[in-house]
Amino acid sequence: MEVDPDEPRPRPELATLLATEHWSLLGTRSMTWSEIMSRISILLTVMSAFLVVLALVAQGVGFDRSLLGLAIGFAAASLVVGSLTALRVALASQEDAQLIRGMNRLRAAYVELAPEIGPFLTASTHDDHDGLMATYTLGNRRPMLAHILGSTTFFVIVINTLVAGTLGGLVATAAHGSTWLTALAAGGAGLLWLGLQMEVARHLFSPRLKDVRFPSGT
């Protein structure tokens, strides 16, 4: 039986190369989120340590002006560390989206090599926004708001918002502000920091993806 030289021949080495790239992306994604979880743990540990120190100082000297100054310093330090952590988490989310897009493209290549495996894939083979969200949610439709509120980025943002509000209230108290002024300063500082962090996160993790090679519906 003669073999037609023009007929495309199977190239199993292509699947091996694609799988190697896939495992490389998976490893990078795993290391990224391992780092993020470590940084969040450090943030929470530092904040807990600050609260313990404040409690011990309060037992020793009572609730005087020196304790208020120490609390302001600790709150400011917590806000700096927390904001840096939030920035890193937002950047990691951006990197994670690109890693998922890369793996979606590899699945598209798998399906091109062996079309019969398509129905067995859970994650998407498209690298646009719909394909990205399909892989994130494993095919389950989920409101975007729920995805945002349940994200690690929003978790850190909420922590920083509470710290910013506390810092604003402490500064107003140190300035001998009234109860209403203190409450207004706390609420204003928290809302201001919330808006700033959300804008930074929105700018970094934009749903408008570029260089789409495998759009949905094709």
Q: Cβ distance 117 to 110 under 8 Å?
A: yes
Within 13 A of 203's CA, how many CA atoms are on the CB side? 7
What does the block give as tokens for 121? 């894939």
- The more confident residue out of 214 and 12 is 214
Report whether pLDDT(30) > 60. Answer: yes
Average of per-residue pLDDT across 94-102: 92
**pLDDT for 3-19, tens place per residue?**
445 555 556 778 889 99
**CA 128 – CA 140 distance, rounded (Å):** 17
For the chain, domain boundaries: 14-204
* H-helix or E-strand spanning residue 141: none
**pLDDT for 141-178, tens place per residue?**
777 788 888 889 999 999 999 999 999 999 999 998 89
21, 73, 120 from 126: Cα distances, Å:
17, 49, 15
**CA 72 – CA 65 distance, rounded (Å):** 11
**pLDDT for 34-66, tens place per residue?**
999 999 999 999 999 999 999 999 888 777 777
User: What is the model's pTM?
Assistant: 0.86
**CA 208 – CA 48 distance, rounded (Å):** 38
11, 97, 104, 122 from 136: Cα distances, Å:
31, 9, 11, 11
State residue 99 phi and psi, 5-degree precision. -65, -40
Average of per-residue pLDDT across 125-152: 85
**pLDDT for 65-90, tens place per residue?**
778 999 999 999 999 999 999 999 99
- Whether the CA torsion 112, 118, 131, 95 is positive or negative: it is negative
